[in-house]
Amino acid sequence: KAGVTQTPRYLIKTRGQQVTLSCSPISGHRSVSWYQQTPGQGLQFLFEYFSETQRNKGNFPGRFSGRQFSNSRSEMNVSTLELGDSALYLCASSLTSGSTGELFFGEGSRLTVL
Amino acid sequence: AQSVTQLGSHVSVSEGALVLLRCNYSSSVPPYLFWYVQYPNQGLQLLLKYTTGATLVKGINGFEAEFKKSETSFHLTKPSAHMSDAAEYFCALNQAGTALIFGKGTTLSVSS
């Protein structure tokens, strides 16, 4: 059974650009969550999608957005990149919404903003 | 507000020694509690979780944790450390179907 797949694994952008990250959940999982991981702030919740609907949202500015497709694949977009957006972005999938069950994480997309 | 505090950002033990990673939480209602492990350049993997019932929870790789409501703690232990246990460990909580809230993490180093 394939795990959670995130692409790209590494990317470098400059300030002001935008970026789109992709996440393919485990087959059959309908919930996808996104987290930002930085050395200073740790793991911070961005948002969760379930059946193409955003169910929960963290405390991030509107430059951070996401969506989920009918096949449960998800994308997140960051516009007008800032240096502080440099981080590891982790996607996690689960069978149900609300994280009462186990989250299965991908290996992450490491974004560097120059 | 919910929060998770992991005491000690870095813990060092010798191979074969007891591993104790501390986690305290704050929650207005009984939470679900989790421990995740992250190896370098990898995502997080669930070690164990507490939802309801037995307060001593056994997980993978010989780890276990005990939920103590009176102390609002959920410490992770392993009787005998192995070199392969070196990683970063995260305690997390969730209540009422909201998103997981993670602690800052504890890096475990194991020396031979």
B25-72 pLDDT per residue, tens: 998 777 899 999 999 888 999 999 998 888 899 999 999 999 999 999
10 Å Cβ neighbour count for A29? 19
Q: Comparing C-alpha atoms, which of B10, B50, B11 is closest to residue B27?
A: B50
In terms of C-beta density within 10 A (0-12 exposed, 13-18 middle, 19 or more buried), how is residue A72 classed? Answer: buried
Percent of chain A with pLDDT over 90: 86
The partner residue sitting opposite A100, judged by closest CB among B44, B94, B104, is B94
Q: Which residues pair with B73 in a beta bridge?
A: B24, B68
Phi, psi of B61 (to 5 degrees): 60, 25
What pLDDT shows up at residue A84? Answer: 96
Task: Report whether pLDDT(A99) > 80.
Answer: no
Residue among B54, B57, B53 nearest B23 (CA) = B57
Would you call B104 and A42 a contact, using CB atoms and an 8 Å cutoff? Answer: yes
Separation of alpha carbons A24 and A59, rounded Å: 24
- The answer to whether A102 contacts B46, with C-beta atoms less than 8 Å apart, is yes
Per-residue pLDDT, A23: 98
* Residues in contact with A60: Cβ distance below 8 Å, sequence separation at least 6, in sequence order: A36, A44, A46, A47
Q: How many helices (H) and strands (E) does chain B have?
A: 0, 11
Cβ atoms of residues B23 and B75 within 8 Å: yes
pLDDT (0 to 100) of residue A1: 65
Structure tokens at B25: 């939480």
**CA nearest to A96, candidates A16, A6, A10, A32:** A32
The answer on pLDDT for B92 being more than 90 is yes
**How does strand A109-113 pair with strand A10-13?**
parallel
CA distance B18 to chain A (A): 26
A107–chain B Cβ distance below 8 A for any pair: yes
How far apart (Å, rounded) are the C-alpha atoms in residues B21 and B60?
A: 15
Is A100 an 8 Å CB contact of chain B? yes
Distance from CA of A83 to the nearest CA of B (A): 21
- Cβ A99–B44 below 8 Å, yes or no? no
| Mean predicted lDDT score pLDDT of chain A | 93
Q: How many other C-beta atoms are found inside a 10 Å radius of the C-beta of residue B60?
A: 10
> Cα B10 vs. chain centroid, distance in angstroms?
13
| From A58, A97, A108, residue closest to B43, measured CB to CB | A108
Determine contact: A4 vs chain B, CB below 8 A: yes
**If residue B83 lies in a helix (H) or strand (E), which one and from where to where?**
none
* Nearest residue of chain A to residue B37 (CA atoms): A105
Find the angle CA(B99)-CA(B104)-CA(B107) to the nearest 5 degrees: 130
Distance CA A113, CA A87 (A): 9
